[in-house]
Every structure is written in C-alpha cells, then in structure tokens.
Amino acid sequence: MSQAQAIDDRPELVCFSHLRWDFVYQRPQHLLSRAARSHRVFFIEEPIFKREGTPHLDISSRPEGVTVIVPVLLEGTDAELAEAQTRNLIGAHLQANLSGSPVLWYYTPMAVAFSRDIKASAVIYDNMDELSGFLGAPPRLLALEEELFARADLVFTGGMSLYAAKRSRHPHVHAFPSSIDAAHFRKARALKDADAPQDQAVIARPRIGFFGVIDERMDVELVREAAELRPDWQFVIIGPVVKINQATLPSAPNIHWLGPKSYAELPRYLTGWDAGFMPFAINDATRFISPTKTPEFLAAGVPVVSTPITDVVKPYGEKGLVEIARTPAELVSALEHLLIRPREPWLGEVDQHLQTMSWDKTWAAMHGLIDQVKRRSSRPLSVSPPTNLSAGRAAAMKGNSYV
C-alpha cells in the first residue's frame, strides 16, 4: 500500500456496473461521485476485448474522485475463461488496494459471477432498471439476480414501479426514484440564444428536443410520424445510438440527430428548445423505467410531453407537470398546447415539486441505511455463494457469458 493510500482512511466502496463511467452521465455517476466525498470508490466496468496483449486492468482516475477499473481481455476468449480471468484480475487488485472490507455496490447481477469471494461490510443492489427486459439481456441474468437478492443487505430501486415489482423479493427494499441536480439544469433558464451551440444555432424554430440514449426504448416511428405531421417544427435529438441500427432512424429535413453531448453541455442545448418530448416506446424495456431526464427537463424550464411511462404518469402527469400522449396526433396536440401556454404558473409548480428532490438528499438517505447495516454487523459479511442455491439455479448460471 502506498503512503497516499495509508493516509486515506476513508471506507471503501466497490461498484460493479453494466454502464461505463464515461458513457451518459446518469444515476451511477450522480450517486457515486457523492459517495466519493466520504469513500474511496472503485468503479468496475464490464470487460473490453482487444486483439493483442495480455489480460490486464485499465485503471484511471476521474475528477469526481472515482477510480475506474476496466478488465481488458483478448478477443476470442471463451466465456468461462473470461470470467475466471476477470475474477483473478479484480481479486488481486482489490486485495492489494483495499484496507478493509468494502461496501459492495451492484448495478448488474452479472458481476456476482466473479465477485462471490470478496468479503464486504455491506452488499447493496441498486436496481436502477429491469435489465432482463433490455435487448440482448444475457440468459443467466435472472438466476444471478436471484443470487444477488439472497446475499444483499439492501436493495434500492430506481423508481416506484420497479419497487412495486421487487419489494416482495427482499425484506429491505427501498425506492429511490430518479432525482435531480437542479442547479445544473436551471442554468438553461438564464442562458440566451447567443449561448447556443453552433450545431443547434443553425436550426430554425420552434425546436422540440430530446436528450438521452437512443436504443430500443425510443419509439422511432412516433418520432417519424410526429415530424411528418408538423414539418414546420424542428425535432432536435441528442444522444448516442446503441444496440439499434442507426440507418433505421427516421430521416427528414426537420429531424436533427446531433449525436452525444457531455453532461456539462446539456443546459446550452436545452435553453434553445421551445418544448421537449420523451418518445418512449411502450415495451418490456420501458415497463419499469424512471427517466432521469424528466426532472431535468423541468429544472431547465422546458415544458415536455411524454408517452405514458408509469413512473412519468405518476407523479408528473397527475400533477400537470408533464403532458402525456400516446399517439403521434396526441403528441402534436400536446406540444401545440405547450408552445402557447404561459410558462410562469407552470414553473412555479415545477419548482415547488423539485425542491423536495436532489441527488444529495438521495445519497444521504442511502448512506444512512448503509451505515445502519454496518453498525448491525459485528464482523465483515461473507459474500460466498449462499448455501440454498439450488442445483437448477447453479446449472442455469454455468456456461453463460458475462455481459
């Protein structure tokens, strides 16, 4: 252990994530950057595969105080060997760099396959999405999630609908819906047209905007048809395209795919939007989502229309903070209403709602629950496989890839 590490006596938190730190800035980054104020945080991503070299860890630091760790394996490595190499690489690194038993924080049950032997002061499952409903979900995910439920001390859910679905599976499930860094997005209210990014400044108005990951959760036909209904409106869409063929996205003079933007850049784009839309498909991947962008649109002062996602309808739709539409015609009608509606009364209601929310408050509540678990434990908790793991479940976990 280095001298710097010896001086740093903060408790340690090891996170296993299916999302990469440098992808879209969302729930894991918000929470773990706050955790890093009081913990040494190790953020372990899924392996990447390269053609040459030897298996190793790519280790780097982020300004938020988080250490990002990525296993780098060789292309062509079979699933069983990849899992063993990941286990050995992560185990050796943690053994050399941890001063005690860390909090283990899981975003993906798939990581259980290579982290069973790590001893922990608490095991947390931050169940932000129903990953089994996503395109390309690995077959063994559900079996590993069952194992994670069996060993977790606390389960957090990313929304109320997910909480309703999971609360019977563990004695300590707590709902922590998507929250907000209101000060960051409120910058959009103060910015002027002169602050607009160049790629957006050349787009005519009115502008209807969306930001986020573009994947199977987006109803691309809804976007296409809405743009056809109102060719005089400009639909501006920001975000990376993943898991779907970019060539299948609708193309029209009034649809503008601007690609991914950084979290820091978002207020400059939002300030130039006359309204927002969240064209989520209604499918297995969106059944339990609690979109972080909902309060972010509101904090930016951008009125928004969403398809009827359960965690958007309640509370945002029921409170009149977000308009709800299912069809292209309903979407266009709702947007027409928002474009002429006075904003000030709506903004007052928005700010009253948002003042109860913040990522700081969310992390503080989570941290308090974790401390209660650690105080109850007189010695580190073993995270070796539970003895009640059935033969059927064990067989289901064998031979499937870690994704």
For residue 379, give both structure tokens: 């010695």
DSSP state of 117: T
Positions of E strands within 107-189: 122-127, 154-157, 173-175
**Is residue 129 pLDDT above 50, yes or no?**
yes
Taking the C-alpha atoms of residue 54 and residue 180, their distance in angstroms, rounded to an integer, is: 41
**Is residue 403 pLDDT above 90, yes or no?**
no
Position 194 scores a pLDDT of: 81
Do residues 252 and 223 make contact, with C-beta atoms less than 8 angstroms apart?
A: no
Q: Which of 109, 87, 96 is nearest to 67 (CA)?
A: 96
pTM of the full structure? 0.90
Number of H helices, E strands in the chain: 16, 15
Give pairs for 372-375: CB < 8 Å, separation 24+.
Answer: 373/121, 373/122, 373/153, 373/154, 374/103, 374/121, 374/122
Domains plus CATH for the chain? Answer: 10-179+359-397 (3.40.50.2000), 182-354 (3.40.50.2000)
Residue whose token pair is 């359960």 = 310
Taking the C-alpha atoms of residue 380 and residue 205, their distance in angstroms, rounded to an integer, is: 59
Average pLDDT, the chain: 91
Share of the chain above pLDDT 70, in %: 92
Backbone angles phi, psi at 214, to 5 degrees: -105, 105
Taking the C-alpha atoms of residue 147 and residue 324, their distance in angstroms, rounded to an integer, is: 38
Instruction: Report pLDDT digits (tens) over 303-360.
Output: 999 999 999 999 999 999 999 999 999 999 999 999 999 999 999 999 999 999 999 9
Q: Work out the pLDDT band at 73, boundaries 50, 70, 90.
A: very high
Do residues 310 and 322 make contact, with C-beta atoms less than 8 angstroms apart?
A: no
Q: Which residue has the higher pLDDT, 108 or 395?
A: 108
**Is residue 402 pLDDT above 90, yes or no?**
no
Q: Work out the pLDDT band at 394, boundaries 50, 70, 90.
A: very low
Position 382 scores a pLDDT of: 39
Position 376 scores a pLDDT of: 86
Taking the C-alpha atoms of residue 225 and residue 250, their distance in angstroms, rounded to an integer, is: 9
The 3-state DSSP class for residue 100 equals: coil
**Could you write out the DSSP letters of every residue in 211-226?**
ES-BSTTB-HHHHHHH
Position 398 scores a pLDDT of: 29
Do residues 177 and 290 make contact, with C-beta atoms less than 8 angstroms apart?
A: yes
